[in-house]
Chains A and B, each alone.
Chain A
Amino acid sequence: MKLFTKATLLIAALALAACNNPREGEYESAYGAGAGGISSTALGDPNDPTSIAYFNETIGDTVNFTVDSSDLTPMGQTILRTQAVWLNRYPEYRILIEGHADERGTREYNIALGARRAARVQQFLIAEGVSAGRINTVSYGKERPVEVCAEQRCWDLNRRAVTAVSR
């Protein structure tokens, strides 16, 4: 309940800065570990503070970046600290950090840029006490936008790192 109160204070800020990624299950099914296999992950009850849904929606699974940058914004650092508290409380979850870029760059560079963003988040979470052994990183470059439009507002949301948790 203590966590819930803290998270509630963050909700307004999170709604402004972060784009929640409700498509966690989709990533899992399309690109989950295991060659070609489809894996499924139960998302649980969003009111259950131990659930993936709670992490994704209430803690906030996403931090955003400015153009061509992998620097964590103050808002991003706040979200990641909250993520770390949750992740340290529930060590049974494995963590995959997905780095993403907007579409305004070339394919290869964006893969590398997404890798750099994911690594930055990984380093931050480790510094906040999350065990390095729980964390993997992957970059999707510009291949998996969360919002599709040829405008700044979409590019702003697509420059992101998503902390995907699974049991």
Chain B
Amino acid sequence: MTQFSRRPVLSLLAGFALAPRVALAQTPLRIEITEGVIEPVPYAIPDFVPENAAGGQYAAGLARVIAGNLSGTGLLREIPANAHVGRITSFEAPVQFADWRAINARALITGAVRVDGQQITVKFRLFDVVSGQQLGDGLQLDGRTDAWRRMAHRVSDQVYQRLTGESGYFDSRVVFIAESGPRDARRKQVAIMDQDGENVQYLTDGTALAFAPRFSPTGDRILFTSYETGFPRIYLMDVATRRRQVIGDQPGTMTFAPRFSPDGGSVVYSLSIDGRTDIFLLNIGSGQRWQLTQTEAIDTAPSFAPDGAQVVFESDRSGTSQLYVMPLQGGAASRISHGQGRYSTPVWSPRGDLIAFTKSHNGRFHIGVMRTDGSNERLLTASFLDEGPTWSPNGRVIMFTREEAGGNPSLMSVDITGRNLRRVPTPGPASDPAWSPLLP
């Protein structure tokens, strides 16, 4: 950076040189997240202004949760409070933009909080510091104090949406498998947490091996596979009540790899019998079942397209595991993966445009994405063992399981440009993440 960057008008120009993906100041601040390498946009988020004494205990926490979300995208970089020149002492007072330009902030988030008994009120505004314009309207959120983190996530989603033009993904949760104990007698529990790793709760007690939980399209139910009976069976659980039932059970078979249809009314899954593994569709309400594949091969890991018309799955019918797409209304499955190596665990993006997958080749494992016709394959990660991608609600970030040689598995996230590889905090070893939709 140059020495004249302290002058507001020139800092704007310098900002261009650094962050070419950020649009002109004359137009509102806009981050184009579809592009490749970006210099993160600097922003400031002072502690929220407490509007009464009880609000004071949330003033810093709200700002920290929001900053954690925004900086965690890799698209934005927080300018720490000890570098701030300006002070926000009143939510309604005019913003002294010069103070924020002086520290090269491009965006400023201000907020206020008050607490009355169990009720919390959170307000925020987002400013384009360079143009001195407010981005979108100020917003007030009201709720119970125990939902304060969710309110911070809602604010984060608003900020993300106003800056990128895309819907956010912060007010969401992740189901995963919490692992403990020795590797050859591993304890595996279904667990749920906020997207940022907070509020971990355990949904199963760990007496039976469980794996691969999946969210319903409305986020209120999950599917997972458990060995509770001694054999793999698919369980459907209501997240709020923890009530669960076995579905798709058929004596003498193993059932696993379930996923919901986009309308939440059906489940695609795998059923193994006599060494063959095929894909089935089950209507949850009626119990009616359809066999979607019929081969001697392993057909597994089915995932619906968001429009519900097609299913992508993996099959080793060609000799090695590859990805196939089949129309639900019948007709041949067509192979879409054509690169070297083995492809598995395909997952259709919620935007419908991409399929994420696990690829193994030359002893390494990758998370990758390709178009739904198999073109434009891009590998986003590489390690000893990366597997099981799941999409953020907006289709911009992928979470997956990483296991280093001899190490414990952990959850990682990466954005679909391959940037911003991060570890997702969990209380212990963790695997098999599945991202919920945005919470209602």
Residues of A within 8 A of B (CB): 23, 26, 30-36, 68, 70, 103-109, 111-113, 115-120, 123, 138-140, 143-150
A sample of 24 cross-chain residue pairs with beta-carbon separation below 8 angstroms, ordered by A number, consists of A33-B229, A33-B230, A36-B208, A68-B320, A103-B403, A104-B363, A105-B360, A106-B358, A106-B388, A107-B432, A108-B300, A108-B345, A109-B345, A112-B300, A116-B277, A118-B275, A120-B275, A139-B254, A139-B272, A144-B184, A145-B184, A148-B184, A150-B405, A150-B406
Write out the residue numbers on chain B whose beta carbons fall within 8 Å of the beta carbon of A30.
185
Residue of B nearest to A36 (CB): B207
Residue of A nearest to B227 (CB): A31
Write out the residue numbers on chain A whose beta carbons fall within 8 Å of the beta carbon of B182.
148
Contact between B298 and A116, CB atoms less than 8 A apart: yes
Apart from the given pairs A139-B232, A146-B184, 5 other A-B contacts in the complex at a CB distance below 8 Å? A33-B230, A116-B298, A119-B275, A139-B254, A145-B183
Write out the residue numbers on chain B whose beta carbons fall within 8 Å of the beta carbon of A26.
185
B231 at the interface (CB under 8 A from A): yes
Write out the residue numbers on chain B whose beta carbons fall within 8 Å of the beta carbon of A140.
209
Q: How far is the CA of A33 from the CA of B208 in the complex (A)?
A: 12
Shortest C-beta distance, B248 to chain A (Å), equals: 14
Residue of B nearest to A39 (CB): B230
B371-393 residues at the A interface, CB under 8 angstroms = 384-385, 387-388
B307 at the interface (CB under 8 A from A): no
Contact between B231 and A138, CB atoms less than 8 A apart: yes
Shortest C-beta distance, B324 to chain A (Å), equals: 14
Q: A31-B209, A106-B344 are in contact. Are A143 and B230 (CB under 8 A)?
A: no
Q: How far is the CA of A144 from the CA of B182 in the complex (A)?
A: 10
B314 at the interface (CB under 8 A from A): yes
Contact between A149 and B406, CB atoms less than 8 A apart: yes
Write out the residue numbers on chain B whose beta carbons fall within 8 Å of the beta carbon of A105.
342, 344, 360
Task: Report which of B183, B208, B387, B405 forms a contact with A106, defined as CB distance below 8 A.
Answer: B387
Contact between A108 and B183, CB atoms less than 8 A apart: no
B212 at the interface (CB under 8 A from A): yes
Q: What are the 7 tightest A-B residue pairs by CB atom distance, in nearest-first order?
A: A119-B275, A150-B405, A115-B272, A112-B277, A112-B298, A148-B183, A116-B275
Shortest C-beta distance, B311 to chain A (Å), equals: 14
Contact between A111 and B344, CB atoms less than 8 A apart: no
Residue of B nearest to A99 (CB): B275
B263 at the interface (CB under 8 A from A): no
Residue of A nearest to B299 (CB): A112
Write out the residue numbers on chain A whose beta carbons fall within 8 Å of the beta carbon of B320.
68
Contact between A109 and B272, CB atoms less than 8 A apart: no
Shortest C-beta distance, B345 to chain A (Å), equals: 5
Q: How far is the CA of A143 from the CA of B184 in the complex (A)?
A: 8
Contact between B207 and A103, CB atoms less than 8 A apart: no
B186 at the interface (CB under 8 A from A): yes
B249 at the interface (CB under 8 A from A): no
Contact between B344 and A143, CB atoms less than 8 A apart: no
Q: How far is the CA of A39 from the CA of B277 in the complex (A)?
A: 30
Residue of B nearest to A26 (CB): B185
Shortest C-beta distance, B226 to chain A (Å), equals: 10
Task: Report which of A35, A70, A108 forms a contact with B275, defined as CB distance below 8 A.
Answer: A70
Shortest C-beta distance, B54 to chain A (Å), equals: 46
Shortest C-beta distance, B150 to chain A (Å), equals: 31
Q: How far is the CA of A117 from the CA of B342 in the complex (A)?
A: 19
B274 at the interface (CB under 8 A from A): yes
Write out the residue numbers on chain A whose beta carbons fall within 8 Å of the beta carbon of B212.
107-108
